[in-house]
Amino acid sequence: MKRTQTWARENFAHLETLFHNANGYLGVRNAPEEGAAPGVDSVRGAYLNAFYEIRDVRYGEKLYGFPETQQVMVNVPDAQTVTLEAEGERFSLFDDSVGERLQTLDMAAGQTVRSCVWHTARGDLRVEVRRMASFARRELFLMRYCVTSEGYRGAIRLTAVLDADVRNHAAANDPRVAAEPLRCLRVDAVGLEGDTAYALATTLRSNLTLCCRVAQTCDWLPMHVHTATSAETAFTGALQPGERIELTQYACYADSRRTADPAGETLARLAECREMGAERLEAEQAAYLETFWRDARVEIDGDPACQQAMDFNLYELLQSTGTDGYSNVAAKGLSGEGYEGHTFWDSEIYVLPFFLWTRPDAARDMLRYRCETLERARANARSLGFARGALYPWRTIDGDECSAYFPAGTAQYHIDGDIAFAFVQYWDATGDLAFMAECGAEVLVETARFWLELGHMAEDGFRIDCVTGPDEYTCLVNNNFYTNAVAQNNLRGAVRALRSLTEAGLDRTVREATGVTDIEAEAFALAAERMYFPRDERNGISPQDDSFLQKKTLDLRAIPRDHFPLLLHYHPLFLYRHQVCKQADTVLAQLLFPDTADADTVRRSYDFYGRVTTHDSSLSLCVYAMMAARLGLSGQAAELFGDTVALDLNDTHGNTRDGLHTANLGGAYLCMLRGFAGLRLDESGLSLAPMLPAGWRGYAFTLCYRGCRFRCRVDGAGANLTWLTGADARVRLNGRWINLTGGDAGASGS
C-alpha cells in the first residue's frame, strides 16, 4: 500500500498536498525541509483543525445581515525545517547536484519518505527523511532525518528550526483561496525549557493560544540558539564512507480550544513520546492502521490503478477528519488553505458516509460537532429574519457564517437538510436512539422548523422560494428540486424521531429543549406530504427548479477548454441566466431519494443534465458515476469512477496545490457503495443490489451495520455476504433478505 514517484520543480505544491501528513487534528504539508528554491511553487504550512483567526469581511456595499467577520484556519508555527550543510555546501532538493529523487507515501506505515542522493564535491550523501503525524497521539508530528555517506568524507551540520514567524497564503484571483496574505499570530514567547524548544503564540482577534514544543535526539551534541520568533538546534560532526547520522525530532502541538494549558500539555505529551522512542511510535502507528485497513479497505480486482487511487482516497479521509467535537472536516482537510479551512455540506453528504459504514463512532462524533453548534445555527436563522428554527452556516469553522456571497452561499439552505439527512442515516445504520435523544432529535426539530418558516403552503403544495441548490451556477430560484427533497426528508425525520422517542419514553430532552408540540409535528408531516416538486411532462424529466428549463441554453462545446472552470472566466449573472450546471443537483436528489421520481424520469433526467453540466465542482463526477451504475450503464460508470478516484492524483481541477478535495475523496468511496454495490438505507433497513463494473473481475468491502461487521464480495458469479464480528443482522441482497449471524463466522448468502 505504497505510492512512490519522483519529483521535479514543476507543480511541487501539488506534491506537497499529496504527500502531506495529518491525523484529523494536525496537518503538515510536505514542503522541502530546507525550504523551496527560488521559482519553485511551494505552499509551506502546518494547521490545527478548527484553530482559527477572525478577520473582517470587506464589502463594496454591505447590507443588513451580511456577515461582518469570518474565521480563517491558521498557519501555525513550522516544525518541519531542517537544513543540511556539508563542508560549506548547502543541500537543496532542487539543485542539479541531487539525483535519484523519490517520494513515497506508505499508507500501511502511516509515513511519508523522501530520499535522494546528493553529489557533493567530497563525495555522495544519501538523504532520507521520514515523516509521520501520529493517529494514536494526535498532538505528535515525528520526523527522522537520516544522512548516510556513500563515499563522502568531511564535516556535516544539521540544523533543526522551529519557526513561529508564519502567515497564511493567498491567491488574489481565485475565490476558492484567501485574497491576501494574513498574519494571524502574535508570538508570545520562544525559548528553551530543559532540552526542549517551544513557541507560544496567540491569534490576534479570536484570542486562541497554541504551543508547539520540539525536542531532538542525535548522536552529536546540540547547540541551541533562539530569537524572538524562532529556535534553532544545530548538530555538527563528521562522516566517513558507510557511516550515517540520524536526527529524530518530536514536535507536539496543543491549543486552548482543547486544553487550558497548551504549554504544559505539550511538555507532558512530548515527554511521553520521547520515552516511547521513534521505533515504538512507528510500530504504534502501523498497528493503528492495520485495524483501519482491516475495517475500511475497498478491494478492487482487475484494476491496479483504481486500487491504488482508492487506497489513497480512503487514507486521506482518515487524515483529514476531526472527531473531537470541536472540529469536523474542511473542504481541503488539513492539506492546504483552500476555502480557508471551512466546513461545508461536503462533510455530511460526501465524507461522513465513509465513517458511518466503517467507524460509526467517528460518524457520531462528526455529528456531535453540529449538535455543539446548534445554538449558533439558531442565532443565524434569527439574523436572516426567521422567527423560529435553526439555519446552519453554509461555510464555517466555529459555527458562525463565513460566506460573504449570499447568492451562492447563505441561500444554500439545503445545508439544513443535508445535516438532517446525515443524522437520520446514522440512526438507521446504527439504531442509536440514545444519541438521537441526547441531541440528534433536537437538530432535526430545529431544522424542520426552519423549513416551515422558509416555505409556504400553496394550492399545489408546500413551496420553498428564493433558494440556491447545490448547482452554484443557478442561484436564487424557486423550488429547487434537491432543496425540496432534503427538506421533505428533514421534516419526515423530525416526525419519526419524535414518535420513536415518545414510544421509548426518551422524548423529555428534546421536548424541553425545543418546546415542540404534537400540533407542530403534524405541521411537519403535512408539509412533507404536500412538498411540491417541479415537473416537466413534455420532456419527461425533473426540472432543477421552476425556471431552469425556460433559460437559454449554453453550448459548452463552443467554450474554450482554458475557460473552465467557468466561475473564473464569466460573470455570475452570465451563468445564472443560462441553462448550465456547475455540478450534480437534481441527479443527486434522485440518487439519495429514489422515490422522488420513477425510473424513466430518472434516466431521462440523467441524460439531460449530463449535457448541461460542466463538472466544474469536484462534487459532481462521483454523483454521475453513482447514477450511471444505478442505471446499469456499466462502461460509463467505470469511466466516471476512474476520473473520480484519480481527481487529486491527476490534479484534474488544477488546484490540488491548495489542498485535497475531501468531498471527492468521500465521493469515490460512495461510488463503490451507493453506485456499484447499489446500497440503499432507510427506515426499513439496509439493501444491496451489486453490479460489476466493466473490466473488473470483482470487488469487496466491509460494512458495519447495527453492530454487525460483515464482508460483501462481488465477482462474476454474483454477490456474497459473510458475517465477521459483532451482532446478528438482516440485510436485503438483490431483493432477498439475508440473515447474518454470529453463530457461524462463515455464514453467507448470495
Helix (H) or strand (E) run with residue 626 in it: helix 621-630
| Mean pLDDT of the 502-510 span | 98
Question: Is position 307 within any domain?
Answer: no
Long-range contacts of 458-466 (CB under 8 A, 24+ apart): 458/532, 460/532, 461/530, 461/531, 461/532, 461/533, 462/526, 462/527, 462/528, 462/530, 462/531, 462/532, 463/532, 464/413, 464/532, 466/411
CB–CB of 440/371 below 8 Å? yes
Q: How far is CA 434 from CA 76, 138, 510, 704, in A?
A: 38, 28, 12, 18
Q: Percentage of the chain surpassing pLDDT 90?
A: 95
Strands 461-463 and 456-458, by their bridges, are: antiparallel
Question: Is position 505 within any domain?
Answer: no
Residue 509: name the closest of 495, 521, 520, 498 by CA: 498
Which of these three, 293, 315, 342, is where a domain ends?
293
Residue 627: name the closest of 665, 659, 660, 667 by CA: 667
Each residue of 629-672: pLDDT tens digit? 999 999 999 999 999 999 999 999 999 999 999 999 999 999 99
What pLDDT sits at residue 316? Answer: 99
CA atoms lying within 13 Å on the CB side of residue 230: 14
| Mean pLDDT of the 13-38 span | 97
What pLDDT sits at residue 747? Answer: 42
Each residue of 602-635: pLDDT tens digit? 999 999 999 999 999 999 999 999 999 999 999 9
Q: How far is CA 655 from CA 31, 342, 558, 565, 602, in A?
A: 17, 16, 24, 11, 32
Q: Phi/psi of residue 595, each to 5°?
A: -80, 0
What pLDDT sits at residue 170? Answer: 72
User: What strands, in cross-sheet order, belong to the sheet with 209-217?
Assistant: 2-5, 98-106, 111-120, 123-133, 140-150, 244-255, 209-217, 196-203, 185-193
pTM of the model as a whole: 0.97
**Phi-psi bin for 416: left (phi > 0), alpha (psi -120 to 50), beta?**
alpha
Question: What does the mean pLDDT of the chain come to?
Answer: 96
Question: Is position 400 within any domain?
Answer: no
Count of domains for the chain: 2
Instruction: Please tell me the total number of residues recorded for the chain in this structure.
Output: 750
> In sequence order, what are the beta bridge partners of 4?
104
> In sequence order, what are the beta bridge partners of 82?
160
The rounded Cα 200 to chain-centroid distance in angstroms is 28
Question: Is position 218 within any domain?
Answer: yes
Q: Is the pLDDT of residue 174 over 70?
A: no
Question: Is position 299 within any domain?
Answer: no
What pLDDT sits at residue 482? Answer: 99
Q: Is the pLDDT of residue 748 over 80?
A: no
Question: Is position 162 within any domain?
Answer: yes
What pLDDT sits at residue 744? Answer: 54
User: What gap in Å lies between CA 352 and CA 356, rounded to an integer?
Assistant: 6
C-alpha cell at 111: 509515513
**Full domain range(s) for residue 738:** 702-749
12 contact partners, CB below 8 Å, separation of at least 6 = 36, 40, 41, 42
Which of these three, 293, 321, 342, is where a domain ends?
293
Which residues does the annotation mark as catalytic?
A: 472
Question: Is position 154 within any domain?
Answer: yes
- Domain with residue 265: its CATH number is 2.70.98.40
Q: Is the dihedral angle over the CA atoms 515, 517, 520, 524 positive or is it negative?
A: positive
Question: Is position 561 within any domain?
Answer: no
Which of these three, 269, 293, 317, is where a domain ends?
293
User: What gap in Å lies between CA 532 and CA 607, rounded to an integer?
Assistant: 23
